């Protein structure tokens, strides 16, 4: 089990949440619940206006593990959100959020979604169909990573090859869950500073 903590700026959770709306993320991953053994850290590299966010992963001793770059949809010539993962001394893979078929279905029922959303706000039993979230990463035409749901709609990351650093996989999983969409529940979106000490573990990472 890996435990997650947001790394808050001086302004606390309020400042962190303001920055995360712009794509900034900063968190630590610990191997124990008492936060004595740092396993890895994820920080956001400085980015200019209009440039995609690049998240860098460092090991517990400060060594560079790799990076993940997120480009939002409808930017830089592509419609779907694109993720690029680069591991130090290892593979580079690119993945797109959601499949074309399910995006088409989602947009077709969007008017119904709006009605159900209003019903849910009014405390009825309305529910909404989540935006497509599955991401298949490819490297050289071969699928090497798969971020998708398993049992009980639990999303996890599966590595198809054995050359991925587990710290990179855990960091990527946590990043995906922190970009859970407007109808999701991102793990790092908390209103109080003290929420970090009780943060849930990362979703499971499997290796095929």
Comparing 22 with 107, which gets the higher pLDDT?
A: 22
User: What strand order describes the sheet that includes 82-87?
Assistant: 3-6, 27-30, 38-44, 53-59, 64-71, 82-87, 92-97, 135-139, 142-149, 155-159, 205-207
Cα distances from 166 to residues 45, 149, 162, in angstroms, run 21, 19, 10
pLDDT in tens, 29-44: 999 989 999 999 999 9
- Cβ neighbours around 163 below 10 Å, total: 11
pLDDT in tens, 67-78: 999 998 878 778
Strands 155-159 and 53-59: unpaired
Mean of the per-residue pLDDT values of the chain: 81
The whole-angstrom separation of Cα 110 and Cα 95 is 24
Report the range of poorest mean pLDDT among 88-92, 99-103, 122-126: 122-126
Report the range of poorest mean pLDDT among 46-50, 72-76, 173-177, 200-204: 200-204
- Per-domain residue ranges of the chain: 3-98+133-207
- Which of 65, 57, 54, 53 has the alpha carbon at shortest distance from 41? 57
- Cβ neighbours around 133 below 10 Å, total: 20
* Helical (H) or strand (E) element with 16: helix 12-20
> Which residues, other chains included, contact 111 with Cβ-Cβ below 8 Å and sequence gap of 6+?
none
What is the structure's pLDDT at 198?
32
Comparing 184 with 115, which gets the higher pLDDT?
A: 184
The pTM score is: 0.81
């Amino acid at each position: 089990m890996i435990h997650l903590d947001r790394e808050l700026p001086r302004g606390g959770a309020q400042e962190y949440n303001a920055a995360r709306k712009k794509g900034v993320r900063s968190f630590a991953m610990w191997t124990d619940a008492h936060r004595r053994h740092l396993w890895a850290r994820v920080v956001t590299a400085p980015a200019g206006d209009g440039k995609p966010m690049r998240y860098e992963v460092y090991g517990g001793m400060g060594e560079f593990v790799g990076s993940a770059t997120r480009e939002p949809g409808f930017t830089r010539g592509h419609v779907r959100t694109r993720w690029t993962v680069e591991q130090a001394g290892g593979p580079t893979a690119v993945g797109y959020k959601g499949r074309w078929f399910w995006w088409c279905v989602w947009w077709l029922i969007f008017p119904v979604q709006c009605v159900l959303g209003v019903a849910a706000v009014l405390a009825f039993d309305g529910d909404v169909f989540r935006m497509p979230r599955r991401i298949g990463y490819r490297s050289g035409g071969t699928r090497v990573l798969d971020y998708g749901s398993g049992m009980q709609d639990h999303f996890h990351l599966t590595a198809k090859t054995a050359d991925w650093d587990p710290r990179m996989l855990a960091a990527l999983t946590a990043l995906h869950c922190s970009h859970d969409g407007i109808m999701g529940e991102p793990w790092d979106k908390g209103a109080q500073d003290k929420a970090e000490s009780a943060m849930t573990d990362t979703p499971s990472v499997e290796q095929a």
